[in-house]
């Protein structure tokens, strides 16, 4: 995904940061415990049971629509992670652009031993495919796109290049990043995040499920957002949470534009919130917020 933040990959560099060692990206939190290619749906677990019932009722296709991640601390090398899962709810049948379906919300809690180290809330639309009705870019979305003006280039940074909280200003835009969406990016991102759902790598299966092509999985989208925001903030930013709502899919041949701005900064604690928006050829692909802690001095 192009995330070259050295705090994730360079032990020598990471030792010079506030973390003292290599740490994992927040966007990977709900990836570590995925079963990958060995996955078989377990009808005994809450999510599996709900999906089995919906499949039998004809809602056989699925697409992620929202994700919330939070962590009290970054995961580090040597952590042995486990998770528990709970079904939060299934909505009544609703009409959507993909077909009639139900939104299924699931919560995962992550532990290292008995220590709570993270939470996720994941929402999936289980739908009866009727063909993707989404056509063209919505011009009203363009009004929320925030092009980078260069106004943050002179911010003060710490010794490893991280923005200091005292330099941040509410409303300041982040640099805009343009990401070409290729078949390789979609498939490699899905496989990297242990996501073997066929609509992310098999064009024929994706079309049968009501899509026009394979499409990017949510883990890749969030990984790219963390790469874009994290690359600008710097390696000493402590990532606390990420919330995202998905809109239109990203297909091969699209171009994703990641924009955003700082919405609040506490110069005393370093607690900072950023809003982000990801658009593509069809309109809003993802939007949401992240919370980080920036160095205060």
Q: In this predicted model, what pLDDT tens digit does every residue of 241-271 receive, in sequence order?
A: 999 999 999 999 999 999 999 999 999 999 9
259 touches 284 (CB < 8 A): no
Q: Share the mean pLDDT of the chain.
A: 90
Nearest to 199 by CA among 104, 129, 208: 208
**What are the start-end ranges of the E strands in 174-215?**
177-180
293 or 132, greater pLDDT: 293
* Reported pTM: 0.89
Q: Dihedral of CA 228/229/233/234: which sign?
A: negative
**How far apart, in whole angstroms, are the C-alpha atoms of residue 198 and residue 183?**
13
HSE (CB half, 13 Å, CA atoms) of 204?
A: 0
What is the per-residue pLDDT for 131?
A: 58
What is the per-residue pLDDT for 151?
A: 41
| Whether the predicted pLDDT of 144 surpasses 60 | no
What is the per-residue pLDDT for 148?
A: 36
Residue spans per domain, the chain: 6-293
| Whether the predicted pLDDT of 203 surpasses 60 | yes
170 touches 260 (CB < 8 A): no
For residue 11, what are the contacts with CB-CB under 8 A and spacing of at least 6?
21, 22
- For 293, counting Cβ atoms within 10 Å of its Cβ (0-12 exposed, 13-18 middle, 19+ buried), the class is middle
**How far apart, in whole angstroms, are the C-alpha atoms of residue 253 and residue 195?**
21
Least confident segment among 2-6, 102-106, 124-128, 152-156 = 152-156
What is the per-residue pLDDT for 209?
A: 84
Q: In which residue are the tokens 């809690």 written?
A: 109
Q: How confident is the model at residue 149 (pLDDT cuts 50, 70, 90)?
A: very low
SS3 83: strand
Question: What CATH number is given for 6-293 in this structure?
Answer: 3.10.129.10
17-73: pLDDT as tens digits: 999 999 999 999 999 998 888 778 888 888 889 999 999 999 999 999 999 999 999
Token digits of residue 201: 């790598």
Nearest to 289 by CA among 244, 231, 232: 244
| Whether the predicted pLDDT of 83 surpasses 80 | yes
110 touches 118 (CB < 8 A): yes
167-176: pLDDT as tens digits: 888 888 999 9
């Amino acid at each position: 995904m192009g995330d070259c933040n050295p705090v994730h990959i360079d032990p020598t560099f990471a030792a010079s940061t506030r973390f003292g060692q290599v740490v994992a990206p927040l966007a990977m939190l709900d990836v570590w415990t995925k079963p990958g290619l060995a996955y078989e749906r377990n009808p005994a677990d809450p999510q599996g049971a709900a999906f089995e019932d919906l499949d039998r009722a004809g809602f056989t296709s699925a697409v992620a629509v929202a994700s919330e991640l939070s962590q009290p601390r970054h995961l580090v090398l040597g952590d042995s992670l486990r998770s528990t899962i709970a079904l939060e709810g299934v909505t009544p049948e609703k009409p959507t652009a993909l077909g009639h379906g139900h939104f299924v919300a699931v919560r995962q809690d992550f532990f290292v031993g008995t220590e709570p180290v993270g939470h996720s809330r994941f929402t999936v639309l289980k739908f009866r495919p009727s063909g993707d009705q989404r056509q063209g870019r919505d011009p009203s979305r363009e009004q929320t796109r925030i092009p980078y003006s260069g106004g943050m280039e002179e911010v003060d940074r710490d010794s490893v290049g991280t923005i200091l909280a005292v330099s941040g200003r509410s409303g300041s835009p982040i640099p805009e990043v343009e990401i070409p969406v290729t078949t390789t990016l979609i498939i490699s991102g899905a496989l990297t995040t242990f996501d073997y759902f066929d609509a992310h790598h098999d064009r024929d299966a994706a079309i049968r499920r009501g899509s026009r092509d394979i499409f990017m999985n949510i883990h890749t989208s969030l990984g790219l957002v963390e790469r874009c925001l994290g690359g600008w903030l710097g390696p000493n930013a402590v990532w606390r949470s990420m919330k995202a709502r998905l809109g239109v899919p990203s297909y091969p041949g699209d171009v994703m534009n990641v924009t955003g701005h700082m919405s609040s900064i506490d110069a005393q604690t370093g607690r900072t919130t950023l809003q982000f928006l990801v658009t593509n050829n069809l309109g809003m692909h993802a939007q949401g917020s992240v919370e980080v802690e920036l160095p205060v001095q």
